[in-house]
Structure 1
Amino acid sequence: MNKYSLSALLAAGLLVGSLATGAQAADLGGDCCADLEERVAELEATTARKGNRKVSLTVSGFVAQQLVIWDDGQESNVYVTDTGSVSIGTHFAFSGKAQINSEWSAGFLLKIEAMNNDSLTVTQNSDEGPNAMLILQGGGAGVLALESAYWFLKSERLGRVSVGQQSSAADNQAILPDGSGSLVQANYVMYDVNGFVTRANGGYTGLSWGSFANCHALNGYGGAFGDCDGVPSNNVRYDTPTFAGFGASASWGEDDMWALSGRYAGEFSGVKLAGAIAYSHSSDETGTAGPGVPTMLAARNNGGLDIGHLQLGGYIEHVSSGLFFYGAYATAFNDTTASVRGAGQNNPDGDMFYLKAGLKRQVFAIGSTTFYGEYGQHNDTFTAGMFDAGINSTELEQYGLGVVQNVDAAAMQLWVAWRHYEGDVTCGAFGGCGGGINFGSNDLEEFDLVKFGGLINF
């Protein structure tokens, strides 16, 4: 992202204003200086300013919107949505840093998400999706949500410690190695269809596509399967310095959540390599799994909450040809969830994998173009509520094609993409599992979408 210092912008604006005022001094007469002072005062009154001269202040973020044409097999429509809250949607951020000495520095980040058409929460019946980040925080339906708010101390030799609401050491780790330039547009999280209701046996099931890519008890901490610890939380985090391309992180969150991760990025003989591994664990029985989902307190009655999540991601690119490949894998270790079936009755662990391959080329002078194809599969990654209803297994498949065009002069991306979703669900209850899900195997009706979008950084 391009980031611009407010002080630099203000200085540039005043310089231009001063030159223009000087050129017109003969016409303005003795009022020139008073006029300039009035302009400066007006500018200061309408400009974000630092509270002191010791800490730098940078404003950054991006605005992303897309046109989504969808078809669920029965109904079709066209929506305008954001690209999704929690890290990859429209937001603005204030960051600051102060140099204490040659070794130590301190700083902060305050990040706000802003959207009223979150792709995570739109449905067949609603084209205005409230901010999912705000819902997860218990703030109800709204537009603005606090994504991150933390301070840090950093040593060039020892690393960085940060405290506050922030990503855990595991958040997004398998996604971030993707250097294809299509990370926002194509990843394994159900950003485009999370809230849309599936169809089976000729009717709507009441189960969303997102419920087939769920994180069981870890759902209370956000994310979709593959990135289960996906929502910033109150935690303490440590990041090592980078040594020869390698780095590691650790975090601990309230009552109790912890995560570890390691990553690498480098280039050898014209080949770029990047990879990451992360593990997160939760025994926080006081959390909730979001609106309408049983609280984790039920797990305490069934023997205590004990669930972990492992994720891996890797990327390779041949620089001269532009050929690239990205892959990710995740699995859960689910010893107890909040199931009403009682002690020892747990969701399957579940796993997923996601593959993306393509080509990066300079087709147009305005910037590089990324062509990609993708395929992903989620196995038995369904919600605790579905398990309670008698569902024994699920499978969800997604695949698609897309093109992303960079516009370098505007720090912008434009894209067009097609995605297809299909799946099946197996019900073990002789009387059915509700919502039109019958005993035995049930095929979900296919869902297709085409999206045209743009993202501009500031």
Structure 2
Amino acid sequence: MRENNKRNPFRQRSPRGAKASTLLGALFVVAFAATAQAQTSTPQQGLFVLPASFLDSLALVDPRTTRRPVSTTRLSFEWLNLYRKSGDPIALTGSFSGSAFVPVTSSDLLGNKQQTPGLKLKLEAEILDQPVEFSGFYTLPNANESLFTGLSTGTAGGATLRSTAIYTLDPGGDVSNYINSNAISQLYVNHSSQLFGAEANTKSAFGIPGLMVGIRGLYLGEDLSTVAQRFGSTTAIDAVTIQTRNYLLGPQIGFERMFDIGGGIKIGGTAKAGILANLVERERSFISRNQTQTRAQQNYIDGITFAQVFELNPRIEVPLAQGVTLTFGGTFLWLNNVSTAFPHFATVTDLQDVNLRAKDRVFHYGVQAGITIDLDTVAMFSPAPMGKRFLEGRIQEFNGPTPIPVTLYGEINKMVLAWDDGVQRTSRIVDNTSAPSIFGAKIAAELSRGWTTGVNIEAGLNTNRSVAVSQFLPGGEKSFDPDLRYLDWWIRSNRYGKFTVGHTSTATDGVVLTDTSGTNGAASANIGLIGGDLMLRAADALDPSNTSLVDRTSISDFFGGATIDTLRRDVMRYETPEWNGFDFLVAARSQFWDAAVRYRLDLASWQFRASLGYVRDTDAGDRAALGFTRDRREWKGGMSLLHTPTGLFVTTAFVNRQFRGNDSSNQAVFGENKVDEFGNVIPGTHRPDLNFAYLKTGMRRQFNAIGETKFFTELAIAKDGITDLREAGPKVVTSSQLNMLGAGIVQDIDAYNAQLYLGFRHYSFDVEGLRDSTTFGVIASPAPIKDINLVYSGVRIKF
């Protein structure tokens, strides 16, 4: 077990997202190899086959039972509605000095059960003639909150009730003065939990019908925050936060059988059990809001235990059409030996407490319904792919002495974006800024052999952008304000390269978007373009509906603004001809220049793309008139590899941004310098480098005549994006990190040059800072932030 206890801490924390990806990301990579080998119609033995005589002796085959054919590929979508049974009540309040008190327990907040919706995806296929199954599910966070009032009444001489927070009764508590929590008038309690996971199984393992053997990963996380207010005061407040994280990974075994009862209707289900290694993280904090300089502490520990999981899934399948089946069923999921938040509340101020308390039992149950598509059967009954109906290349030509071809093009990318920031849960129809709706025209003409010139004009339909969605603007901007994206003239020589002047891409525009997955229209490394303006919520606010919103800090502030990509601007740009897969670019204007190198390699079974660039930006814009300077130096790049026979891909991107200017702003977008606890710039200092890393991996395969299907998972980490600035609640942030974990699916529709997509992203934040200051000094304390969850689905049509 590792322990990290600090009182009055200034510390850097290990990323939770990195550990989640270590356990679950590897499982998703394996899952995306579902159809890594081409199927064959020639019957062969699978990977796990026992002698036929041994199978005959088992006598497992019932003439009434039916096995699914293993030569097909099936994709299932199911909606989940899960309930979690509450455990035994855990006390949150006690008696102060033996007086009468109001008992408050965890059951007063949670009740008997909590309900949450979710989504489950499952892919059944073959690898080397062995039937396999890959599945993943995601549930929305389940949040409960309540404000308990009237906990203490009367006067000091004639008290009738005196309630105290239960942690004040812990003899091992290290905080010397609990006065804010000893006799409290009210207690605000907020609790949230979340469950998601994935698994990979071989079916009919060892040739035994129905036997499943595989590996499973699960995540169970809980957040508990309380705010206790002292009786007779409005400023004497103690805030507690507790976070427990369970990352489970291990083997499992199961059994699946379905029985045909006539009319193609089948009943049956699966039962699975496993023993999983459980990496447990626990982080706790205690802060006296009016005394953070003397009473603030943090406690972080982690360790590995072993947990058990058992799942039962009864199911009914009803045929709907050729290759399409409706499914109805239930889910019963038991987790044993996991850590939950409430048992850690009573000892939150005890820095010597290193007990992970990973002995809890959690039970989920509920219903599910969805649809299963037999991709191979649907493909057999699908018509041949139609010709693309989007507008062809040269749709209009101006006649004259020298015809000038004009190409009109564009795309529409609309989606539904839903989010849950721990308090607000809503959805809106927006334009996906990852690949926004645009309209443009390209004009090109040949000057002479090997020489071409032309003009590019493009505008974005700037309305309801996904990047501008926030709690104050839940639907994004309402007004229609077209955005000029391109207005440039260019001349190209096959021998000497291409020169462009005007409002256009710079040399490094798009280097972080280098990608062979074909999913950038739904989700790219530029993660702030979907929900980036959503503001943070403090997890320890007394009034969650109002004071919890940190309206000066958004998701995108953690990576310096709305985009990590280089913005288009008025520049002169030169691009060399391609040489052995390489081409070089440079662009410049007053107070700005950048350069990049790109590389591409196409082999029989591999596609590889890589880009690397450097940016120097000293253009302070309107802030220059105020006497401020800007000097940002940036290395950025991207790389992507695709194995074409299997469709497996991996994409990475990075950004390192340095700040060397001078600006009085203490916020992320304009800030160049460190600030003190009063929000003032410290002369001669520079804020730390912003470091951003992104990983996307998955599989793209064509299962039917409609087009390719693409599955992906993604991970992003942004470090020190708001460090040494006045952001996220503290007067000055001393350490900061954003973690993002996401996944999704994209379906191409070739006949219409369109894509359908569905994805989700889970954001978590690690922030510490100076909460207040006095003449006696300052202290770094945790600034707990609620997690943010995004779910989005849309359609993109190009023409």
TM-score by length of 2: 0.45
Matched with 2:642 is 317
Of all paired residues, the percent bearing the same amino acid is 25
Q: Secondary structure at the match of 1:210?
A: helix
What is the CA–CA distance in structure 2 between the aligned matches of 1:120 and 1:7, rounded to whole Å?
Answer: 33
Q: Secondary structure at the match of 1:252?
A: strand
Is this contact kept in 2: 1:117–1:127, CA < 8 A? Answer: no
1:337-371 CA distance string (max 9 Å, x none): 42351532222111010001101111222000110
1:420 aligned to which of 757, 762, 785 = 762
1:53-111 CA distance string (max 9 Å, x none): 53211111100000112111111011111111xx7200001111010001211101010
1:265-303 CA distance string (max 9 Å, x none): 112341111100011101223x14xxxxxx2556x55xx
What is the CA–CA distance in structure 2 between the aligned matches of 1:305 and 1:423, rounded to whole Å?
Answer: 28
Matched with 1:276 is 611
Matched with 1:328 is 653
Q: Secondary structure at the match of 2:786?
A: strand
Alignment of 1:129-144 (within 5 A): 129-130=476-477, 142-144=480-482
Is this contact kept in 1: 2:435–2:522, CA < 8 A? Answer: no
1:442 aligned to which of 783, 786, 798 = 783
What is the CA–CA distance in structure 1 between the aligned matches of 2:645 and 2:637, rounded to whole Å?
Answer: 26
2:711 counterpart letter in structure 1? F
What is the CA–CA distance in structure 1 between the aligned matches of 2:401 and 2:683, rounded to whole Å?
Answer: 57
1:185 counterpart letter in structure 2? A
Alignment of 1:230-379 (within 5 A): 231-254=567-590, 256-285=591-620, 287-288=621-622, 295-296=623-624, 304-339=629-664, 341-379=681-719
**Which is richer in strand?**
2
Moved over 4 A (4+): 5-8, 49-53
Farther-moved stretch of structure 1 (111-120 vs 185-194): 185-194
Specify which structure has the bigger relative contact order, considering alpha-carbon pairs within 8 angstroms and separated by 6 or more residues.
Answer: 1
- For structure 2, which runs of at least 5 residues remain unmatched after alignment? 1-387, 542-547, 665-679
Say if 1:81 and 1:431 are closer, same or farther in 2 by CA, change over 3 A: farther
Number of matched pairs: 381
Instruction: Report the Cα offset of residue 333 of structure 1.
Output: 2.2
Say if 1:156 and 1:171 are closer, same or farther in 2 by CA, change over 3 A: same
Alignment of 1:93-104 (within 5 A): 93-104=440-451
1:120 counterpart letter in structure 2? V
**1:184 and 2:521 correspond:** yes
Matched with 1:457 is 798
Is this contact kept in 2: 1:130–1:143, CA < 8 A? Answer: no
1:7-64 CA distance string (max 9 Å, x none): 45x8xxxxxxxxxxxxxxxxxxxxxxxxxxxxxxxxxxxxxx6898532111111000
Is this contact kept in 2: 1:116–1:128, CA < 8 A? Answer: no
1:271 counterpart letter in structure 2? W
1:168 aligned to which of 500, 506, 509 = 506
Larger radius of gyration: 2
What is the CA–CA distance in structure 2 between the aligned matches of 1:212 and 1:77, rounded to whole Å?
Answer: 23
What is the CA–CA distance in structure 2 between the aligned matches of 1:188 and 1:444, rounded to whole Å?
Answer: 23
Q: Secondary structure at the match of 2:772?
A: coil
2:710 counterpart letter in structure 1? T
Q: Secondary structure at the match of 2:523?
A: coil
TM-score by length of 1: 0.78
What is the CA–CA distance in structure 1 between the aligned matches of 2:731 and 2:509, rounded to whole Å?
Answer: 30
What is the CA–CA distance in structure 2 between the aligned matches of 1:59 and 1:431, rounded to whole Å?
Answer: 60
Is this contact kept in 1: 2:608–2:641, CA < 8 A? Answer: yes
- Cα-Cα RMSD: 2.5
Matched with 2:751 is 409
What is the CA–CA distance in structure 2 between the aligned matches of 1:315 and 1:359, rounded to whole Å?
Answer: 13
Is this contact kept in 1: 2:415–2:432, CA < 8 A? Answer: yes
Is this contact kept in 2: 1:3–1:58, CA < 8 A? Answer: no
Instruction: Report the Cα offset of residue 6 of structure 1.
Output: 5.3
Is this contact kept in 1: 2:419–2:790, CA < 8 A? Answer: yes
1:183-220 CA distance string (max 9 Å, x none): 122223211221111111231111111112215xxxxx
Instruction: Report the Cα offset of residue 383 of structure 1.
Output: 8.4
2:555 aligned to which of 199, 206, 209 = 209
What is the CA–CA distance in structure 1 between the aligned matches of 2:609 and 2:759, rounded to whole Å?
Answer: 25
Say if 1:296 and 1:426 are closer, same or farther in 2 by CA, change over 3 A: farther
Is this contact kept in 2: 1:296–1:338, CA < 8 A? Answer: no
1:4 counterpart letter in structure 2? E
Q: Secondary structure at the match of 1:174?
A: helix
2:531 counterpart letter in structure 1? V
What is the CA–CA distance in structure 2 between the aligned matches of 1:167 and 1:429, rounded to whole Å?
Answer: 42
What is the CA–CA distance in structure 2 between the aligned matches of 1:50 and 1:360, rounded to whole Å?
Answer: 44
1:242 counterpart letter in structure 2? E
Say if 1:443 and 1:187 are closer, same or farther in 2 by CA, change over 3 A: farther
Is this contact kept in 2: 1:93–1:111, CA < 8 A? Answer: yes
Farther-moved stretch of structure 1 (377-386 vs 442-451): 377-386
Farther-moved stretch of structure 1 (111-120 vs 385-394): 385-394
Say if 1:124 and 1:56 are closer, same or farther in 2 by CA, change over 3 A: same
Q: Secondary structure at the match of 1:244?
A: coil
Q: Secondary structure at the match of 2:475?
A: coil
Q: Secondary structure at the match of 1:370?
A: strand
1:183 counterpart letter in structure 2? N
- For structure 1, which runs of at least 5 residues remain unmatched after alignment? 11-48, 132-140, 216-222, 289-294, 433-437
Q: Secondary structure at the match of 1:120?
A: helix
Alignment of 1:106-117 (within 5 A): 106-117=453-464
Q: Secondary structure at the match of 2:602?
A: strand
1:90 aligned to which of 437, 446, 453 = 437
Is this contact kept in 2: 1:337–1:384, CA < 8 A? Answer: no
Farther-moved stretch of structure 1 (105-114 vs 387-396): 387-396
